[in-house]
Amino acid sequence: MCGNVTRGATIKSITNALTPQEARLQRIITQHMDRAVLKNSQTARWAHSNRTTYFKSAKTVPFRSMAPLSAPVATLPINDPAFALRNDKMALPWFETIEKDLAFLQRHQESIYEALSISHLDPQDIDYARLIPAQARKIFVGEEHNHPAIYKAFENLVLQYHALYPHRKIIVLTEFVSDRLLPWQMPGKPVKRLEMPFRRNDKDFIFFNKFIKEGIDVIGLENLAYIKEHEALFTPSESQYESVFGMQERNAHWRRIISYVASKNPQAILFIYAGSMHTHYRAPFSLTTPSPQNFVLQLESQFLGPDMPFGYAMKEEPFIRAYDKKVTLLRWEEKDPIFRNRSGFDACLIFPQEDL
């Protein structure tokens, strides 16, 4: 599903040990961020109230989530009926597309088997960089969250690509770094190494520092003020920023940053790294569209989930899983644009379950 920013997506949640000077700077940043959000935010003010008490008396209306196939329409207590209705109105055209995609994929299963290349690889033997066509200028890497093996795969992908094409300028734009340090700063600028502890949303992404050291720019996409303003639950389990409406607004902001960076660096190769529901070709308000210059690589754990039509249509097939500590690689044949578009990816890596 979409990127779950609650996993440490606020400055307060950074878990690194800080020096007294760093801790003071962190408090200043948080205070400025809170002021920017609370200035005109009724939603943020409600977030500090007693949610449990409110939900006992909340209205009940249908709600459509980001994953219509694995989580169909549910009738849930709603904090903000107007928001829920606006979300559903925005979601309905996308759900109609999902239904058509699912019918198409089920109708053409035999042809899919012929067009799809399936491999099982040892994790240490994967040549990530050569999965990317040489002509691709924007590489959209969508991940399933909270899996260290996937973080390592993205790190290897970028560093291998840098080694393969040492003269190409590489820029990483990512959901997992805030778009600015202070509210009045302009998004779209490379993060400095000393800023990174205050900008990345989880200590697991410390490899971004390695990118910077190698001369690879890292640029944040996530607007933390927006997340804080829309973190209120409008169902018992869904925040506003996790809705279809939230996806549209967040992706629109990210898209502006990506376009700005691309215009300022026309020769650069851009790696856009986010949750797979942001980068998937068929996701609502996706960051990308099929093009020879775009490439979508999906990174999943254990199996290809049923949130989108391809995973749902193929849920009984063995090839959508990882087996025997091997990584499953799914790739479409070069001359097959139809299925790659409907599947949502150009290539997909499915990693085995990690040892705990």
Please name the residue ranges forming H helices in the chain.
20-38, 42-47, 51-56, 81-107, 109-115, 148-164, 196-199, 207-213, 224-229, 244-264, 276-279, 309-313, 337-343
Q: What are the backbone angles phi and psi of residue 307, rounded to the nearest 5°?
A: -70, -30
* Among the ranges given (119-128, 191-200, 234-243, 282-291), the one the predictor scored with the smallest mean pLDDT: 234-243
| In a domain? residue 356 | no
Whether residue 5 lies inside any domain: the answer is: no
CA distances 343 to 39, 143, 156, 293, 310, Å, are 43, 15, 25, 18, 5
Question: Residue 266 has which token pair?
Answer: 């026309």
Is 2 part of any domain?
A: no
- 228 and 10 Cβ atoms separated by less than 8 Å: yes
* Domain carrying residue 152: 11-351
Q: Decide if 88 is inside a domain.
A: yes
Residue 9 one-letter amino acid: A
Each residue's pLDDT tens digit, 246-279: 999 999 999 999 999 999 999 999 999 999 999 9
Q: Evaluate if residue 161 carries a pLDDT over 50.
A: yes
Residue 65 pLDDT grade (very low, low, confident, very high; cuts 50, 70, 90): low
Q: Is residue 1 part of a domain?
A: no
Residue 180 included in any domain: yes
pLDDT, residue 222, reads 97
pLDDT recorded at residue 63: 58
| Domain annotation covers residue 4 | no
Query: Is 246 in contact with 239 (CB distance < 8 Å)?
Result: yes
> Would you list the DSSP string of 50-75?
-HHHHHHT-EEEEE--S-TTTS--EE
- Residue in the structure block whose two tokens are 């980068």: 279
3 falls within a domain = no
State the total domains in the chain. 1
